[in-house]
Structure 1
């Protein structure tokens, strides 16, 4: 018959096109100001109301559906005390715009900030939180997990703090010999000891 037996369908580009709106600031109408933490400089990030409202319950309430003061403004300020950095918020926005493409840039340090953000801003599913928890957990090792435990405590990221504590207790036969143990805050040391005691005498450390 001369007609092709199959069609060559081009790949989807929706995620890439939406991400380009963010990166190139095309027709942006909303600004998120992320204040700096611990002496770092803050940053104003351009975004789009319609997309944030579609992806996050927080922005839908603030920008569209309520009489909140934010609904009459074209910006949102993220205070320094909310444990967020400009780099981390850019990664959060990348997920909002392009979904799983965020995995190309997600690193453990940034992921630690975003675990709680997914719930705070009301993302419609738990994918970002799961990606972040996996990224952080896969970064654990005997040398650095004590630093992550201390940092997550300081940043009040409870999910990371608990994962780090479990890793420390499970592998304490080797982590207990790390010099970083002596630098931990006394309250964190006590928490490790109590968790070890809760495991009981029959508990054995699991190999890495």
Structure 2
């Protein structure tokens, strides 16, 4: 999403880089901003925030493996409702510090153990940070570091909590000069990269900032980072994550909500705007969360200037490698597609014959029921298929024989419909992911209609979101006109949500 004010900058576009809605098997938590999110053991943990009416201490977990949201019950030991706090992970625990409870700034410190599923308040020694909100925190080599925030004044103090000694102490520059110490601020980001903590932007009480500093844990000194390229505009309430040899910054507030996306390449010491190769990017927002998990960057919630959000988006840095290694088995099975050698059934579709093998087709519950039941086809050498095109069925055959599919083609929707008819749930999910990344003006209405017919919730929500954001253009497309002729109730439903 390169900005027009940086026409000289080359946008970074990678074919693997695309946005999509994170699929889930149940409803996401309520909308919120000013919350925190951390990743531990293949799960995203979200705590607190402001839902537009009140602060909350709801504690949510998203399992990246099962794609399931769950709410961890509140107990007497759960931290009080709050927003603008910080969260970090150490060992098997999530730690919460500070924030604003609606009445006061606080500096309490809590630990949640994912193994015992229990909260406890940490009773530490030493000199903890003052009660504050909108600070930043990271973990590095057995310690939690807290920087900046607002305690009635804008701060740039720096604190270290030793997990083993259970003790706080202030952090000072080893040179004793503090010449390069960042100015006071809040709503900044702090990110660990190598042996450094990187701080970008924030608000100093008078204006947004876009300065860029590094704290060296090795040398115990601050330095301002000299960069090439045009940096992100001054902002606060953004998010930052690191991936390999880059730092990525998304969204925030410049006085208005933003959705721009930047990469800082350490190898070149250069800022470049990131351009997605597909999908629908998150809308402009601030006070959201952003986390890195495996090969992706995940964004949840925030505030767009009008309403709190609870959408869940992912940006993939790299394509996942296939879990099925190359083998002679796959290549040999592939050679059997449409091959009459050992064929014991012929599929007739659009009056064209396709030799096939019942034991392969029976991977589909549809065909399994057909061949094993009392149906006439169980003993017939020919089976006629209707309501599926020849080209879509042939792609389904490739999947049944090889477990592989190219869903990034012009008829992915037809393949999805065929997969639904033939009861191939995994193939449906593959097509769904591909279609999520390809929603555009021309196909959005068709995707919305198809997902409604086949009850695919995440695809329906993503296409509806795109239609509402681009209604003037989508409503003039052929797909929209065809949807209106086929099901006017869908059009009325869209109009009601505008």
Normalising by the smaller structure, the TM-score range is 0.5 to 0.7
CA contact (8 A) 1:34 1:86 kept: yes
TM-superposed CA distance for 1:181, in Å, is: 8.2
Q: Which of the residues 390, 394, 409 maps onto 1:90?
A: 394
- 1:48 aligns to 2:352 (yes or no): no
User: Where does 1:51-200 land on structure 2 (aligned, <5 Å)?
Assistant: 51-53=360-362, 55-63=363-371, 65-79=372-386, 82=387, 84-100=388-404, 102-103=405-406, 106-123=407-424, 126-146=425-445, 152=450, 159=456, 162=460, 164-172=463-471, 174-176=473-475, 178=476, 180=478, 183-184=481-482, 185=484, 191-198=490-497
Q: CA deviation at 1:127?
A: 2.0
CA distance in 2, matches of 1:181, 1:21: 37
Aligned counterparts of 2:442 and 2:403: Cα–Cα separation in 1? 32
Per mean C-alpha deviation after superposition, the further-off stretch among 88-97 and 137-146 is: 137-146
Q: Answer yes or no: is the 8 Å Cα contact 1:169–1:192 preserved in 2.
A: no
Match of 1:4 in 2: none
1:113 and 1:147, CA in 2 relative to 1: closer, same or farther beyond 3 A? closer
Q: TM-score, normalised by structure 2?
A: 0.30
Structure exhibiting the larger radius of gyration computed from Cα positions: 2
CA contact (8 A) 2:420 2:454 kept: no
User: Greater helix percent: which structure?
Assistant: 1
- How far apart, in 1, do the equivalents of 2:434 and 2:376 lie? 36
TM-score, structure 1 length as denominator? 0.65
Instruction: Encode CA deviations 1:56-77: one digit per residue, 9 max, x unaligned.
Output: 22222222x2221111101211
Q: Deviations over 1:160-189 (max 9, x none)?
A: 98354442123325535x465884536756
Determine the structure 2 residue equivalent to 1:14. 329
The answer for unaligned runs of 5 or more in structure 1 is 1-9, 36-41, 200-208
- How many angstroms apart in 1 are the aligned matches of 2:394 and 2:364? 15
* Corresponding position of 1:39: none
Whose strand proportion is higher, 1 or 2? Answer: 2
Q: Evaluate the alpha carbon distance shift between residue 188 and residue 73 of structure 1 in structure 2; reply closer, same or farther with a 3 A threshold.
A: closer
Residue 7 (structure 1) aligns with: none
Work out the number of aligned pairs and report it.
170
- 2:494, 2:419 → 1: CA distance? 28
1:27 paired to 2:342: yes
Higher RCO (Cα < 8 Å, 6 or more apart): 1
Cα deviation digits, residues 138-167 of structure 1 (max 9, x gap)? 2221244346557x49xx556498354442
C-alpha displacement at 1:51, in angstroms? 1.3
CA distance in 1, matches of 2:446, 2:364: 32
Local SS of the residue matching 2:417: helix
Q: What is the DSSP-based 3-state SS (H/G/I as helix, E as strand, rest coil) of the residue aligned with 1:27? A: coil
For the aligned residue pairs, the C-alpha RMSD in angstroms reads 3.2
- Looking at structure 2, the residues matched to 187 and 32 of structure 1 have their Cα atoms a distance apart, in angstroms, of 30
Kept in 2, the 8 Å contact 1:32–1:77? The answer is yes
Secondary structure of 2:337 counterpart? helix
Describe the SS at the equivalent of 1:25: coil
Aligned partners of 2:413 and 2:480: how far apart in 1?
Answer: 24
Q: How far apart, CA to CA, are the structure 2 residues paired with 1:180 and 1:119?
A: 25
* Shift of residue 11, structure 1, vs aligned partner: 4.9
Return the offset for 1:93: 0.7
- Unaligned runs of 5+ residues in structure 2 are 1-324
